[in-house]
Amino acid sequence: MNQNEEMMLLLTTLTHEIHALHEEIHQIRTINANLQKEVSPVFVSAAASKWRQLQEENAVLRAVINGRLFSVPEDFYDYFIRSEIENQNDEFQEGQLIGRILGKYQLGISDGWLAMRIEKMIENGKLQIITNAPSDCPAYHRVIRKIT
């Protein structure tokens, strides 16, 4: 095969690939258009009003409760943490505690939020750090103890 034939083959291949990509893009746009639905101006206005209200409240945390968005205090999820701490031995792995909470309660919050709240419990003297996490791991890879 000479150089011109190689170039023609390459161009033909690229043309087919570009056509296939255009077809995929068209399919994705069609699917996306089918998933979208019109919302009424009343709904848009109500959603905007609710968002303005939440902004004015300027809360640290918002939570979806029974399908509705609310401003809540930062200790809103502490009940779940305390509840799971009660089920632990006196000394326990913080990361495992966080994993149990996330898996059991499906709260829709991050491990980072739970770690921050546990850190607050340590600062408030409710828990004590027994071993620190290795330097190449997240802080919650440590052992902590209940303080009774």
DSSP state of 132: P
Task: Find tokens 């919302």 and name the residue.
Answer: 39
How do residues 45-61 score in pLDDT, each as one tens digit? Answer: 888 888 888 888 888 88
pLDDT tens for each residue of 1-32: 677 777 777 777 777 777 777 788 878 777 77
pTM above 0.75, yes or no: no
Structure confidence at residue 73 (pLDDT): 93
Copy the structure tokens of residue 2.
């000479």
- Reported as a single tens digit per residue, the pLDDT across 60-100 is 888 888 888 888 999 999 999 999 999 999 999 999 999 99
